[in-house]
A and B are shown apart, each in its own frame.
Chain A
Amino acid sequence: MQSEQSHSKAGILFTSPYLIHLVVFFLYPVGFSLYLVFHRWDLMTDPEYVGLRNFTYLMSDHLFWQALTNTLYFLVIHIPLQIIVALALAIVLAKPLKGRVFFRATFFLPVVISGAAVTILWQRLYSTEVGLINYVLSLVGIDAVPWLTDPGIAMPAIAIMATWKNLGLYVVFFLAGILAIPQTVYEAAKMEGASSWHEFRYITLPLLKPTMFLVVVMSTLGGFNLFIEPYVMTGGGPLGSTMSVVLYMYKQAFSFQHMGYAATLGFALALIIMVCVFIQKKYLDSERYY
């Protein structure tokens, strides 16, 4: 074996660029964010210590709570929609169908495309008078939907677009999960006279729990990261109905120069995300750890 010493030398040499980068661009910003949340700062003058005032303002800031509620509204639509459609497609594509590689590749296409590009395209598709989506709906007799101009519909519209954008990725996750289930389990169930619904309900679904966890966590993170979608499509409107927390943070920081408060928003959002993921882990991920 090589001596411990030469291992140490190589180890230190190989990891030090990463560690230096980590200290400057991760640990320092984390520390600085803890400083900022207790200060008021407009970038021009010196930061002013304000104690807990950023937090008390946050608690009573109805725009923050609205942004948070908007995000929850997004997640409540996006997550179930995503799971149902992706799971259904994965079950179909797990069968030995002709052309399944083509279908998989097609559903995956928007995954690789920039969210900005998808949003710019969908803004046109959602156009009330001349949009493709309302045209297709009119073919089946549905009246024009004011997708991006009705406060009650704008957020669901963004959730539908996000589902379209990410669907292919989750189909691939579910597909991998389904194909990993040993065929013998299904054969045993058939011997017992299980119907296909029973097979799905008592074999496929429980065994897909780790995949389900992954999909829920990733969709949740996506929801809390919403930024360019409302920025391009609605600017957070109508009536603040699509304002996301990140967009609100961006506006506080760069439209109003409220750096301390923006950092507080980032701090609160990070905390909320970690609590959400922790809760999801506790309830969904009982047996496996990624």
Chain B
Amino acid sequence: MTPLLSVENLTVTYARNDAERMAVDSISFAIEPGEIVALVGESGSGKTATGLAIMGILSANARVGPGSAIRFEGRDLLATPERELRDIRGRRISMVFQEPAAALNPVMCVGDQVAEVALVHGERDKRAARTKAIEMLGRVGLPDADERYRAYPHELSGGMRQRVMLAIALLLRPALVIADEPTSALDVTVQAQVLALLLDLQREAQTAVLLITHDLGVVAETCARALVMREGRIVESASVDDLFHAPAHEYTRELLAAMPRIVRPA
């Protein structure tokens, strides 16, 4: 079976003050359809740059190195013109960001932001797009989706805003969702809700997820496989069971040892 996504020899450098800093250093990995894979690492490890490179939305001062390839559904995204990428983004690959308050448009009601995805991708009937959006908002657990359609992001809690982000990302049932720290800004009880919802939607649509996180607890809770990144390189790639029970790399062991854990007295 050919993988859904295969990243080959990806290198990303950022130019700053005439110097080039390497954020991602020739990494390779693949994701199968419907699979949930964690990309774990601490800040500055290159995990977000990897996600942005797959989406094709790296900032202007970033450069993807020669010899890099990102194959998705049979095409090399790096060789795909922007025009076609725009059709893929939101429809076949979508992204959920860490901070929904920053990712959502503050002057557009949340319902229109969900409906926009359908309209951009070929839906001509505004009313149909609206109906679809309301349905999806209900599906992600926004209470009174019909009325909340008109709500602005600032009128919603952080958890509700992240539900709206999930509605936008999953509206068109993409094959791949890149979730970049989707619960890191949320309270612990809300994190549990949003993770459960993400898994639910993922199962339903058979979406593959690249879950970018620094939290090994989130990995233990949701993923089948994990890639550990450090200083731009993947230092370990393993099933989560092996990762937690037989970590091969010293850095993975360090991460595991540093994990805050609740010790339940016997």
Are both chains from one complex?
A: no
Q: Which residues from chain A sit less than 8 Å from chain B, CB to CB?
A: none
